[in-house]
Every structure is written in C-alpha cells, then in structure tokens.
Amino acid sequence: SKPSSVSLTFNLTDEPTNRIRVLYPKPFQRNFTVCHAALFNFNNPKQIINSFEINRVLGAQHFYVYNLSVSNTTDAVLRHYQRLGLLTVMPWRLPASGVWYHGQLLAINDCVYRNRHASQFVVIHDTDEYIIPEVHGSWAEVLRAAEDDYFKNGTKARNIKNVGSFIFQSSFYYNTSDKLWGSIKRDASMTADEEAFLTKHGVFPFIHTLRDGNIFNLFERSKAIVRPESVIQAGIHSVDVQRASAGTAVVSRSLAALHHY
C-alpha cells in the first residue's frame, strides 16, 4: 500500500517528530475554470450572464468570482449560478480601498492556486472579455493547435515539457454599422425575435462585431489560459513566473483572440 505520510529528520538515528501527509495526484475535476477579478460596485447582471453562458459554450465548466460589492440584482444572478454548482463566490475584503484596482493581482493568484490539481486549465480574463476561437469550436481545440505550433515552430529548449501559459492578444469591439448589421442578419438567417433578444439583453459578442483598428501589442491588455501547476506567480496580462519546464505560447490570431467589449 502507498504511504499516507512521511517524516523528516536530520539524521537516520533521530526520533521523527513530524508527519507530512502525502498528497497523491488525482484526476482533474474539470478541464477549464474561469477566474474573474474582483467585482466592485458591480451592477451589470446581464454581463455576468453573457460571460458565463458564452464561456460555457467554449468549454468553461466552473467560475470563480471575487465579490467586493455588487448590486442586489447581480447578487441574485450569482446565487443562481451557485445553486447550479457552476460558481464559487469568494468574499473579498481588503484592508484599504483602491489597492491597485481592488487587489486584482492577489485575486488572480488565489484563484490559480485554488485550482491546482482541480482544473487542467485556468482562464484569466474580465467579465467583458472573451477568448474567441477563429476556426475551432472550443478552447480545448485551440490549445491543442497552439501547443503543436509551439513545439513545431517555437522552442528548441530540451527542458520544456509543456506549455504552461497561452497568451492571447486583445482588441476592442464596437457596435456594428447598420449596413454591416443587415448583412450579418441575412447571412445568419436571423429572425426578428432573435434580433430583439440579442439587442434587449446586450449580447455584445453577437451585436458588437466591428473591431477597432488597433490590435494591442503582446502583454499589453493580453490575457492568458494557464496550467495551474506550472504557475508560480500569475500576472494580469501574462504569467510573471512559471516553472522552468513550462513554456509560454503566444497564440496566433489565426487561432484565437481576446475580444474586449
């Protein structure tokens, strides 16, 4: 049988005075968990619903939200997703106000570490951002393609065993012109009821399709999907420190991009 604990001593003849429990790796509970930064004076429940539902289509199985202060309506939405077992809400109390945007860096790292050995990947972005595949149907397919590209065309270092972080470049998206919107409706065979639903509920990824001409440089507004076990210190726009055996893949925009609405 496997040992349940071990003891450490300086000499073989010393009497063990400690016991350290052995943690054996278990199968991941889920493939993708989304970590959102702290919500402060947040009063946009539609944005929460859109974020959760669209990300679920892309592969998200669980969400973490850090609750500093939200409206009653938003709180009701969060409680709904908690009852479904899809959301963990972390009460977020800071010793001082405005600690670099409400302790966002601390929240991100807390979420990443909580999901070690629980989630294969952690997706780090805000509730108004989406990592959208260009040709694939899911994040899992995007990451497989990006990791293949990384080892075929990228690193030659022998110590790199896998990709620890995948970085996605960002662009802003805005309301679509009437002419383009008419074309989109025709191509999608969109009914009047479907158009009314998208507009009423502000489903921006479907109605804000006009991309700003500026594509932000790498690590400027970019966001990441990470393997939690590879991360030592997560950053807001990338991973600041990760294990030496883990690489960083910059995901080609031909595979996926970060859409900011």
pLDDT of 209 reads: 72
**CATH classification of the domain holding 46:** 3.90.550
Residue position matching structure tokens 């807001």: 236
176 lies in some domain: no
Q: How many domains does the chain have?
A: 1
14 lies in some domain: no
Domain housing 143: 30-169+215-260
CA distances from 230 to 53, 117, 161, 248 (A): 28, 11, 10, 10
Strand, helix or coil for residue 69:
coil
Measured distance CA(44)–CA(37) in Å, rounded = 15
N-term to C-term CA, the chain = 54
133 lies in some domain: yes
What secondary structure does DSSP assign to 24-44, as a single string?
A: -----SEEEEEEEEEE-SB--
Kindly report the number of other CB atoms within 10 A of residue 5's CB atom: 10
pLDDT of 233 reads: 97
229 lies in some domain: yes
Going residue by residue through the chain, which has 261 residues, state the pLDDT in tens, using 9 for 90 and above. Answer: 889 999 988 898 988 888 899 988 889 999 999 999 899 999 999 999 999 999 999 999 999 999 999 999 999 999 999 999 999 999 998 876 667 778 899 999 999 999 999 999 999 999 999 999 999 999 999 999 999 999 988 666 678 999 999 999 999 887 777 777 777 778 788 888 888 888 877 777 776 777 777 788 888 899 999 999 999 999 999 999 999 999 999 999 999 999 998
Measured distance CA(182)–CA(177) in Å, rounded = 9
236 lies in some domain: yes
158 lies in some domain: yes
